[in-house]
């Protein structure tokens, strides 16, 4: 009898399998991406999503408290005693009417999912708890990732909080914001700054992990994506299990949107949802591979047979012209997304679309999120900027229910935020002007006043 949990190549013509303990994270036959697959007959899922509500009263049980593991029946690859949790996934879905106005939606129609409220300040903790759990099952002593900053912060937190593994993070030189670099350093990860960008670091970390037998926690690791499926479960939970019309998410390495696609694929297969929301993936305009390939060149999953020659030609063109990703949204400054095929599958299953947002559009959207809610980092605001664009195009209707995923915390990148709101033209030009950002339409500038009581009172009366 085979194991009820295994890994399986996503290419339906190959569908080679590997054991659940395997850590190569590529198909042993064709080298493609792997899924974590379940034999649901032997791992019975809940009959209804409402069954999960029983966990709400068990706050002192860490596996019921975790926003990831309270859904463990939908990612049943680890026994409860094997699971490593740091209390991830206590995130909030907020109705955001002011931001809805900016997007062009009726009040009550826009919701923001704040994944920045995770312990390391980004959605990565959802996936890291799952990857870390798998790493422990596999007996790993060292875990590594390439990162634009958030994966490395998350890995560093899991290593420091559990003391179980040495974390090694590969980052591009000058490519990560200070908030994130600070986390990797403070939590004691071995931080390797590569003279190159994220795409270089990603290639190198895969080579190094293979050579040295280090456990890889980037999103080519399918266990990461199992954890990230739970973002969709929490959105459903917050909407009383009624799927929204749209899920809008930034796209970088395309792990998150791939995980969302798998979540809904399984929920639909298991008969746990009646309808599947549409998916919108938003690239930064300066790192828009997914947009170019899908919307401009018509690349599709095509039932598992995408036109690989097309994407390969595109990547050859990037290499030949030394065309590097470039955006203020450093989290998604990625030209070679490792999860491209899975993301194509997600688009097909969720009737998805892809758009790009400029640095100007992302920063304006970010300021609106900050003024109308809890705040986010620049890359996260791609979702709001993208929703606004899709609304203007009429792709999203004004009565539709839209959930924008805010992937990272506002304090991850204070440099971009302060430059946007700064009254100092030099600061603005240095940080943002160089990126083609011309205006700070929604800036909230600090008021300069002499150290004099009358002047201070006068300023407050004038401005408030
Ligand atoms: N938003 C934030 C804040 C991110 O950090 C990332 C990815 C994304 C969106 C894109 O998600 O890669 O699943 O499409 N950050 C990775 C990192 C690459 O290294 O932290 P994706």
Q: Does the structure show a pLDDT above 60 at 20?
A: yes
In this structure, the residue with its CA closest to atom 7 of ligand 1 is 331
pTM of the model: 0.98
Quick: pLDDT tens for 192-233: 999 999 999 999 999 999 999 999 999 999 999 999 999 999
pLDDT band for position 175 (50/70/90)? confident
Instruction: Give the pLDDT confidence score for residue 380 in this predicted structure.
Output: 98
Pocket test for ligand 1, best of 200, 252, 385, 413 (most atoms within 8 A of CB): 252
Q: How far is the CA of 60 from the centre of ligand 1 (A)?
A: 31
Q: Which atom of ligand 1 is nearest to the CA of 146?
A: 19
Ligand 1 atom at minimal distance to the Cα of residue 251: 14
3-state secondary structure the chain: CCCCEEEEECCCCCCCEEECCCCCCCCCCCCCCEEEEECCCCCCCCCCHHHHHHHHHCCCCHHHHCCCHHHHHHCCCCCHHHCCCCCCCCCEEEECHHHHHHHCCCCCCEEEEEHHHCCCCECHHHHHHHHHHHHHHCCCCEEEEEECCHHHHHHHHHHHHHCCCEEEEEEECCCCCHHHHHHHHHCCCEEEEECCCHHHHHHHHHHHHHHHCCEECCCCCHHHHHHHHHHHHHHHHHCCCCCCCEEEEECCCCHHHHHHHHHHHHHHHCCCCCCCCEEEEEEECCECHHHHHHHHCCCCCHHHCCCHHHHHHHHHHHHHCCCCCCCCCHHHCCCCCCCHHHHHHHHHHCCCEEEEECHHHHHHHHHHHHHHCCCCCHHHHHHHHHHHHHHHCCCCCCCCCEEEEECECHHHCHHHHHHHHCCCHHHHHHHCHHHCCCCCCCCCCCCCCCCCHHHHHHHHHHHC
- 256 Cα–ligand 1 center, Å: 8
pLDDT beyond 70 at 442: yes
CA of 446 relative to ligand 1 center, distance in Å: 31
The CA 367 to ligand 1 mean position distance, Å, reads 20
Ligand 1 surroundings by CB, under 6 angstroms: 122, 124, 147-151, 219, 250-256, 331-332, 377, 379-380, 407-408
Ligand 1 atom at shortest distance from the alpha carbon of 376: 3
For residue 367, pLDDT beyond 70:
yes
Q: State in Å: Cα 254 to ligand 1 middle.
A: 8
Pocket of ligand 1, candidates 148, 202, 248, 380: which has the most ligand atoms within 8 Å of its Cβ, to mutate?
Answer: 148
pLDDT at 226: 98
For residue 1, pLDDT beyond 80: no
Q: How far is the CA of 253 from the centre of ligand 1 (A)?
A: 6
- Which pLDDT tens digit goes with each residue over 87-139? 999 999 999 999 999 999 999 999 999 999 999 999 999 999 999 999 999 99
CA of 146 to the centre of ligand 1 (A): 11
For 286-305, write each residue's pLDDT tens digit: 999 999 999 999 999 999 99
Q: What is the mean pLDDT of the chain?
A: 97
- Ligand 1 midpoint to CA 234 (Å): 19
Could you tell which of 179, 250, 411 is best to mutate to test the pocket of ligand 1, judged by most ligand atoms within 8 Å of the CB? 250
Nearest atom in ligand 1 to the alpha carbon of residue 149 is 20
Q: How confident is the model at residue 317 (pLDDT cuts 50, 70, 90)?
A: very high
Res 427 pLDDT > 90: yes
Is the pLDDT reported for residue 329 higher than 70? yes
pLDDT in tens, 30-65: 999 999 999 999 998 999 999 999 999 999 999 999
pLDDT for position 174: 86
| pLDDT at position 64 | 97
């Amino acid at each position: 009898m085979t194991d009820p949990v295994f890994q399986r190549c996503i290419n339906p013509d190959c569908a080679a399998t590997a054991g659940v303990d395997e850590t190569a994270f590529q198909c042993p036959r064709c080298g493609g991406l792997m899924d974590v697959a379940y034999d649901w007959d032997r791992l019975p899922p809940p009959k209804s999503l409402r069954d999960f509500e029983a966990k709400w009263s068990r706050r002192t049980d860490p596996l019921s408290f975790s926003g990831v593991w309270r859904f463990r029946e939908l990612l049943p690859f680890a026994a409860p005693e094997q699971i490593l949790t740091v209390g991830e996934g206590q995130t909030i879905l907020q109705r955001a009417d002011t931001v809805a106005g900016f997007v062009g939606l009726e009040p009550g129609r826009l919701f923001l999912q704040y994944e920045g409220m995770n312990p390391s300040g980004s959605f990565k903790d959802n996936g890291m708890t799952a990857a870390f759990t798998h790493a422990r099952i596999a007996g790993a002593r060292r875990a590594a990732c390439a990162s634009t900053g958030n994966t490395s912060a998350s890995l560093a937190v899991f290593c420091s909080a559990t003391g179980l593994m040495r974390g090694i993070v590969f980052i591009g030189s000058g490519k990560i914001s200070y908030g994130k670099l600070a986390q990797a350093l403070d939590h004691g990860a071995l931080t390797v700054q590569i003279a190159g960008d994220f795409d270089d670091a990603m290639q190198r970390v895969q080579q190094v992990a293979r050579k040295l037998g280090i456990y890889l926690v980037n999103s080519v690791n399918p266990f990461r994506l199992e954890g990230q499926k739970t973002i969709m479960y929490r959105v459903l939970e917050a909407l009383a299990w009624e799927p929204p019309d749209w899920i809008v998410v930034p796209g970088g390495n395309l792990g998150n949107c791939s995980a969302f696609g798998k979540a809904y694929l399984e929920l639909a297969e298991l008969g746990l949802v009646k309808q599947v929301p549409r998916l919108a993936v938003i690239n930064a305009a300066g790192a828009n591979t997914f947009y170019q390939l899908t919307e401009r060149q018509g690349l599709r999953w095509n039932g598992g047979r995408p036109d690989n020659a097309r994407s390969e030609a595109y990547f050859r063109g990037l290499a030949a012209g030394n065309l590097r990703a470039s955006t203020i949204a450093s989290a998604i400054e990625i030209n070679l997304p490792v999860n491209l095929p899975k993301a194509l599958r997600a688009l097909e299953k969720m009737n998805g679309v892809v758009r790009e947002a400029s640095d100007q559009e992302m920063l304006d959207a970010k300021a609106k999120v900050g003024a109308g809610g809890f705040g986010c980092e620049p890359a996260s605001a791609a979702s709001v900027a993208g929703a606004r664009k899709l609304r203007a195009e009429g792709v999203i209707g004004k009565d539709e229910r839209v959930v924008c995923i805010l992937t990272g915390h506002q304090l991850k990148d204070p440099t971009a935020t302060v430059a946007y709101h700064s009254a100092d033209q030099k600061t603005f030009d240095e940080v943002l002007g160089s990126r083609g950002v011309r205006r700070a339409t929604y800036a909230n500038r600090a008021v300069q006043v002499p150290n004099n009581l009358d002047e201070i009172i006068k300023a407050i009366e004038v401005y408030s």
